[in-house]
Amino acid sequence: MSDADVCIIGSGAGAGPVARQLAQAGFNVVVLEKGPHFTQQDYYKDELACCLRSVYTPNLRNERHVIEDYAGKAADGHYKWSSQSTADSGWDFWNGNVVGGSSNFMSGFFYRLKPQDFRLLSEFGPIAGANLVDWPISYEDLEPYYTMVEQVVGVSGHFQPHPFAEPRSTPDFPYPPTTEHVVSRLIDDACTKLQFHSLRTPRAILSQAISPQRRSCEYSGYCGSYGCASGAKGSSREALLNDAVHTGHCRILAKCKVNRLLSDSSGKATAAEYVDAHGVTHQLSARIFVVACQAVETARLLLLSTGPKHPQGLGNNHGQVGRNLVFSAGGSGYGDLVYHELTPQLVEQLKLRGPFVNRGLQDWYFIDDKQFGARAKGGTIDFLLRHPNAVNRANQLKWDNQDKLLWGSALKQKLKKEFTESLSVRYEVFCDWLPTDDCFVSLDPKVKDKWGVPVAKIRIGYHDHDLKVGQYLSDKAKQVLQAMGTKNIRGDVSGSPPQNLQAGGCRFGKDPATSVLDPQCRIHDAPNVFVSDGSWMPTGGSVPYTWTIYANAFRVADIIKRQL
């Protein structure tokens, strides 16, 4: 007799839909989450907790990663690599180790993938050095689940037809757009002048209350990187796990760190071995296991889970676990609306903080430009306001032009000028991080966490094509800033990965020799183990991943229901 029908490891975007759907169907679900269980009342706007202290993520002295980065080229032309523990560098790859995972701290920019994203190889052809494949499912397979996310999680917006719009089964979003900042109008005017298609960005943030627990957005100005105190943000915890627990069929065990999955001689997983908050080791048996720890940690857990039929790790008999890790390529930039150049009326409107910009561009989601030689995959540009967090801003401003450290009144005056003389309009570029042999997860042979378990080593090599596409889109974004009349326009494109946008590492496919999961996101040679976070994605698309992870997790929930 198993302890549960389903054991889910992790509690973020890949876990919430599975827990909710299975619990509501009457199955006994247990969620094992390494982090604490915070609630709305815990998510006040503490800049120190967010950005200087490890309140929502592990302390790197206790739990770290090893990052393997470029270190130049060897004489034979191959890249050299250098490794450094994040405990030494401070480069934090943890995202929201709490119940609900990093979905608690997302900005909620929700874009669907487009049909062409599911067949990147056949649509655009091979790229030397990139491990491109078509997906084993289509956009049509996922579309009903995108719609389900809109309704269940709660997506606010207004659908606008445009040249690259993806098909929809419903005419519009279930909730009207959130309140918009005056900058939105300035972006619209600039795009009209440039003949670009300014689009409202859908947000997983409620514009109106749907229950006493999920109120409408309160427009505090502290959204991205912060937990939501009103329940408006569609985090896994708020929108899904609370519903699962309410059924009486789902238990969430917080501060329980899973070290490995045990498996039998047939290859099936039999139990999750975990350590509780008191350091006591337990085993939890289940009929089905779902791994949803975010891409890096999911690969690490599977590599640690050796067994009679899995000597190299669960699902790793063909050496594919951890391979083809992807992040989101692109970059960001700013332009400043200088107050003394504007009318007093507009300045007063610009000083209002809280409403969202909610504007994006997808005019170059597919690029027809001779500099690329042939039709190429492009991406998305999103506009937003620079975060009001004064602690972060002070850290960015604490060095002067001569690399001298500023402090005291000099730093205060610089901060005052930053907040009172202009408003920074920011853009972000999202484009494909092409999967390569130089971006993957392995186990570090020396470094261990506080439980004595090997940590993940992450090689973060990127493809040069990512930078070319990112720069193309960045230049377009700067045109908009220029047409808006902003000054001091700057921006850059980087090969450094955004740690909060992880996918791949356990790609799905039909051939066990080249994929970890089958098209149902079930491990090929472990028929009762599913992976439902972004690890299954062979390519990431040119949008933030969360909506697609949510949608696929609802699909996986239906598959598991049928299997049970």
CA distances from 503 to 14, 61, 86 (A): 11, 25, 20
> What are the pLDDT digits (tens) for 308-322?
999 999 999 999 999
pLDDT band (50, 70, 90) for residue 515: very high
Lowest mean pLDDT among 146-160, 214-228, 267-281, 296-310: 214-228
Beta-strand runs (E) in 264-318: 269-275, 281-291
* Residues 198, 104, 304, 531, CA torsion sign: negative
- Strand 199-200 and strand 250-253: the pairing is unpaired
Residue 446, pLDDT score: 96
What gap in Å lies between CA 479 and CA 11, rounded to an integer? 41
CATH code, 254: 3.50.50.60
> What are the pLDDT digits (tens) for 340-360?
999 999 999 999 989 999 999
Q: Which two tokens stand for residue 200?
A: 């409202």
What gap in Å lies between CA 247 and CA 23, rounded to an integer? 6
Q: Which two tokens stand for residue 236?
A: 């896994």
Domain of residue 532 covers 4-563
Query: CA nearest 336: which of 471, 482, 189, 190?
Result: 482
Residue showing tokens 């269980």: 37
Crossing angle for the helix pair 464-484 and 183-194, nearest 10 degrees?
Answer: 100
pLDDT band (50, 70, 90) for residue 501: very high
pLDDT band (50, 70, 90) for residue 488: very high
The pLDDT > 90 percentage for the chain reads 85
* Domains identified in the chain, total number: 1
What gap in Å lies between CA 31 and CA 19, rounded to an integer? 8
Q: Cβ of 405: how many Cβ atoms within 10 Å?
A: 9
Q: What is the mean pLDDT of the chain?
A: 95
**Region 220-233: what's the mean pLDDT?**
91
> What are the pLDDT digits (tens) for 45-77?
888 887 778 788 999 999 999 999 998 888 877
**Region 455-481: what's the mean pLDDT?**
97
pLDDT band (50, 70, 90) for residue 543: very high
Instruction: Please work out, in degrees rounded to the nearest 5, the angle formed at the alpha carbon of residue 138 by the alpha carbons of 137 and 139.
Output: 135
Residue 392, pLDDT score: 80
Residue 240, pLDDT score: 98
> What are the pLDDT digits (tens) for 248-300?
999 999 999 999 999 999 999 999 999 999 999 999 999 999 999 999 999 99
CA gyration radius, the chain: 23
Q: Which two tokens stand for residue 142?
A: 């996922």
The three-state secondary structure class of 508 is strand
- Strand 422-432 and strand 379-385: the pairing is antiparallel
pLDDT band (50, 70, 90) for residue 427: very high
> What are the pLDDT digits (tens) for 87-146?
999 999 998 899 999 999 999 999 999 999 999 999 999 999 999 999 999 999 999 999
Residue length, the chain?
A: 564
Secondary structure element (H or E) that encloses residue 359, with its range = strand 359-361
What gap in Å lies between CA 163 and CA 358, rounded to an integer? 19
Q: Which two tokens stand for residue 499?
A: 């740690």
Q: Which two tokens stand for residue 270?
A: 């039999």
Lowest mean pLDDT among 19-28, 36-45, 473-482: 36-45
- Statement: residue 401 has pLDDT above 80: no
Q: Cβ of 450: how many Cβ atoms within 10 Å?
A: 14
Check if the beta carbon of residue 521 is closer than 8 Å to that of residue 536.
yes
Query: CA nearest 295: which of 98, 522, 538, 121?
Result: 538
Check if the beta carbon of residue 512 is closer than 8 Å to that of residue 525.
yes
pLDDT band (50, 70, 90) for residue 17: very high
Check if the beta carbon of residue 265 is closer than 8 Å to that of residue 308.
yes
